[in-house]
Each structure stands twice: as structure tokens, then as C-alpha cells.
């Protein structure tokens, strides 16, 4: 027998997050979108409230000051977080990368613990102009010279790269081995000579935080700046990517889509055309019904895959399926939402057009839809259908 009951303590947390997002965070969306920044004084106040409620860095273990949530619980929470903008999620609830758990004792005190507390901002620098979905093809290098590593290369589309106190940089330490032991992660402080965050790239969506170009020009860092082990960087990234894709893309997409569905539901009941609510028209009903079905399907995919992660399994095929289906689902639901609202859906007076723009990139980052289809197909051909 499979029990899908949400435990009372999890439901209490979900209810708390839902109320907080609705009452404290969503009111900041319009100003954040218009100004492309979060008002500092308002951010400080709402983040302090989130921290007081234990809603900061919920993905990190309790031993380092995080929420200590399981993958299933984190996905329940991320669904609620998905009902607001990515910029506000990052700033209010914290963007703490799980690979920081590989910090050694000195790094733990300098980087990990202050980041979990919210005193430091970290950015993750993987993507390059010539290396997107194929992360192993990076060209940024790190050469050991005496007791220093010297970094050279460029990164782009780095979220929070313009404000980060330090950056986790993925670099080649052995060009022949690459993903098989030739890629290493480094912790690089913001003001290190030779490191510069230059242009912040203007984007179609995800306003309110920067997406920066980073450059390393003979950037010299101490030998103990390695995160994890030399040559173990790609493996460390891969060990974290399943939980990140599942929660940040899968579960958040469900939350985004659920918010759109709620807007559609109320509007279809209230909006009158030709003497009756538009919700009585079959074509509007079809858009609402299709959206509800797809949201339910995605939620079940997310929770099933999260359960497997919590059991210590390696459901990477299912994670690819979730990433693919969730990212395309939210695009369809957002489009239907705008169609149901008509001209008002296209207006910036409603959150729909922001959600529509923000959702588009989910089919691109963390592996494009095309890449994940390829991975899924290869696995099915080799191993059969994953169940």
C-alpha cells in the first residue's frame, strides 16, 4: 500500500511557507519587476522575518544551521516558493548550493556557515560562452604554480555573479581527463586580483537579480581554495544536480503553474462575455482542464522522484524526465493563462506576463529539453523503461 498522506509537521511547514509567500513576498513582486531590483530596506525586513521563522536555507542540513528537510519535504516547500519570482526566492529564502557541504573545516567556517546564516552570497560559475549543456567542455583552466592555483578563462549567465561575496568556479585542471577526473571546483573571493565581474547581461525574464559575465586573468588563489578534491569537481556537481533540478525546476514549475491555474479559475468564473461567465465556454474549460491534469502529473513525477532520492537511489533518468516535462508544462500553462485572460493577461498589470517570460528559460538551463530527451532516449534504449 502506498500512503500519499503529507505528515502533519510537513503540512504545517507548507502552510507557513504558503502564508508567508502570499502575505510577505508576493507584494514585492511588482516593484522588483519594475525596478529590476529588490528595495534593500524592504528586503532586509522580509528576510529577517523568514529567518526568524526558520525559512532560510531550508535545503541545507541542520548540522550547519539549515532546515534539514528531506527531498520530499523540500519539494513540497519549493512548490510554494514557485508561486513568487526567482529573484525574491533567492534573496528572501537563500540560495545555498549543496556542494558547499564538501567544504573542509577551514572553508566551512569561512564560507559555508556564513552563507547558511545569510551573511554571505555565493554564486555558481559553470556556464561559458562555449559550454552550456555540455558542462564538461569548459575551457576555463586552473594551473598549479607552487602553492597557488592560477585561473584563466570566462564565464557568463552567472546568477548573482555581480554581487556574490565569493564564487564556486568550475575549471579544467587536466585537459585530457576532463569529466573523468580533470575538472575541479574552486572557491574564489570577490576581490581576488585577476577576477572581475564585468557586464551584467540583460535578460528576457528573471528580473531583480544579475546574470553576470565573469573573467579570470591570471587569477591567483591559495592551494587550499579547492572545494572537495582536485579532479573531483564534475562528480561533485553531478551528485548535487539531481536535487537541484528536482526542486528548483520541477517543484517550482508546479508552484508557478498552480498560481496560474488559480488565476484562471477565478477569472473564468467572474469574467462575463455574451451574457455568461467565460468558464462556461468549452474551449476555456479545455484550457483549464488540460492545465490541471498536467500540474497533477508533474507533481506526482516530482514527489515520486524525490522519494527515490530520499531512499538513497539514483533516479537520474526520472530527474531528466521531471526536468523536461515540468519545464515544458509551465510554458504551456502560462500560455493558456494569458489566453484565458485575453488582453489583461498580456498586460503588466497582471503577474501572468512575468510568469510567461520567467518560465521560458526553464527549457534551457540545467540542460536543454533536447539534451534531456537525448539522455532519456539513450537510457531507454540501453536499459528499458525506467519505473
pLDDT tens for 240-251 read: 999 999 999 999
Rounded to an integer, the average pLDDT of 250-259 is 98
Kindly state the percentage of the chain with pLDDT values over 70.
99
Q: Which pLDDT band holds residue 387 (cuts at 50, 70, 90)?
A: low
Predicted pLDDT of residue 135: 75
pTM to 2 decimal places: 0.94
- Same topology, domains 8-96 and 235-383? Answer is no
CA distances from 278 to 43, 51, 269, 308 (A): 39, 43, 7, 42
Transcribe 289-340 into DSSP letters. HHHHHHHHHHHHHHHHHHHHHHTT---HHHHHHHHHHHHHHHHHHHHHHHHH
Rounded to an integer, the average pLDDT of 70-93 is 97
Q: Tell which wins on pLDDT, 38 or 132.
A: 38
Predicted pLDDT of residue 138: 93
Structural fold of domain 122-227: Butyryl-CoA Dehydrogenase, subunit A; domain 2 (2.40.110)
Q: Which pLDDT band holds residue 181 (cuts at 50, 70, 90)?
A: very high
Report how far residue 333's alpha carbon sits from residue 289's, in angstroms, rounded to the nearest whole number. Answer: 10
- 134 has pLDDT over 90: no
- 1 has pLDDT over 60: no
- 77 has pLDDT over 70: yes
Predicted pLDDT of residue 386: 65
CA distances from 93 to 22, 46, 47, 296, 384 (A): 14, 10, 7, 26, 40
**Homologous superfamily (CATH) for 8-96:** Acyl-CoA dehydrogenase/oxidase, N-terminal domain (1.10.540.10)
Pairing of strands 211-222, 183-189: unpaired
Domain ranges of the chain: 8-96, 122-227, 235-383
Predicted pLDDT of residue 125: 96
Buried b / exposed e over 95-130, threshold 16 CB at 10 Å, is bbbbbbbbbeeebbebbbbbbbbbebbbbbbbbbee
- 345 has pLDDT over 80: yes
- 132 has pLDDT over 80: no
pLDDT tens-place string over residues 111-130: 999 999 999 999 999 999 98
Region 235-383: CATH code = 1.20.140.10
Backbone angles phi, psi at 124, to 5 degrees: -110, 115
Q: Which pLDDT band holds residue 3 (cuts at 50, 70, 90)?
A: confident
Cα torsion at 317, 322, 328, 329 (round to 10°)?
Answer: 150
Q: Which pLDDT band holds residue 2 (cuts at 50, 70, 90)?
A: confident
Predicted pLDDT of residue 196: 97
Contact 99, 112 (CB under 8 A): no
Amino acid at each position: 500500500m502506498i500512503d500519499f498522506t503529507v505528515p502533519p509537521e510537513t503540512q504545517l511547514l507548507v502552510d507557513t511557507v504558503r502564508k508567508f509567500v502570499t502575505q510577505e513576498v508576493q507584494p514585492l513582486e511588482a516593484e522588483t519587476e519594475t525596478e529590476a531590483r529588490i528595495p534593500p530596506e524592504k528586503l532586509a525586513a522580509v528576510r529577517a522575518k523568514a529567518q526568524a521563522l526558520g525559512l532560510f536555507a531550508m535545503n541545507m542540513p541542520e548540522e550547519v544551521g539549515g532546515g534539514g528537510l528531506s527531498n520530499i519535504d523540500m519539494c513540497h516547500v519549493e512548490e510554494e516558493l514557485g508561486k513568487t519570482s526567482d529573484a525574491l526566492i533567492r534573496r528572501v529564502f537563500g540560495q545555498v548550493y549543496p556542494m558547499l557541504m564538501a567544504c573542509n573545516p577551514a572553508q566551512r567556517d569561512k564560507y559555508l556557515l556564513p552563507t547558511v546564516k545569510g551573511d554571505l552570497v555565493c554564486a555558481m560559475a559553470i556556464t561559458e560562452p562555449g559550454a552550456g549543456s555540455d558542462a564538461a567542455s569548459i575551457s576555463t583552466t586552473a594551473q598549479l604554480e607552487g602553492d597557488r592555483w592560477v585561473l584563466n578563462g570566462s564565464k557568463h549567465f552567472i546568477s548573482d555573479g555581480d554581487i556574490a561575496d565569493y564564487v564556486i568556479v568550475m575549471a579544467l585542471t587536466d585537459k585530457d581527463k576532463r569529466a573523468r577526473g580533470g575538472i575541479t571546483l574552486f572557491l574564489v573571493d570577490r576581490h581576488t586580483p585577476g577576477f572581475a565581474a564585468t557586464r551584467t547581461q540583460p535578460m528576457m525574464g528573471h528580473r531583480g537579480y544579475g546574470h553576470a559575465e565573469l573573467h579570470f586573468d591570471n587569477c591567483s588563489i591559495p592551494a587550499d581554495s579547492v572545494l572537495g578534491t582536485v579532479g573531483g569537481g564534475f562528480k561533485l556537481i553531478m551528485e548535487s544536480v539531481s536535487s537541484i533540478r528536482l526542486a528548483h525546476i520541477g517543484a517550482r514549475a508546479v508552484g508557478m503553474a498552480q498560481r496560474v491555474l488559480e488565476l484562471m479559475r477565478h477569472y473564468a468564473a467572474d469574467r462575463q462575455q455574451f451574457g455568461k461567465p467565460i468558464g462556461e465556454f468549452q474551449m476555456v474549460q479545455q484550457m483549464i482542464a488540460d492545465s490541471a491534469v498536467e500540474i497533477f502529473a508533474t507533481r506526482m513525477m516530482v514527489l515520486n522522484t524525490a522519494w527515490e532520492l530520499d531512499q538513497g537511489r539514483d533516479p537520474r533518468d526520472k530527474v531528466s524526465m521531471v526536468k523536461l516535462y515540468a519545464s515544458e508544462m509551465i510554458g504551456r500553462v502560462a500560455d493558456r493563462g494569458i489566453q484565458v485572460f485575453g488582453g489583461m493577461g498580456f498586460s503588466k498589470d497582471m503577474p501572468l506576463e512575468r510568469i510567461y517570460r520567467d518560465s521560458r528559460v526553464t527549457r534551457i538551463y540545467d540542460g536543454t529539453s533536447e539534451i534531456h530527451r537525448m539522455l532519456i532516449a539513450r537510457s531507454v534504449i540501453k536499459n528499458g523503461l525506467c519505473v
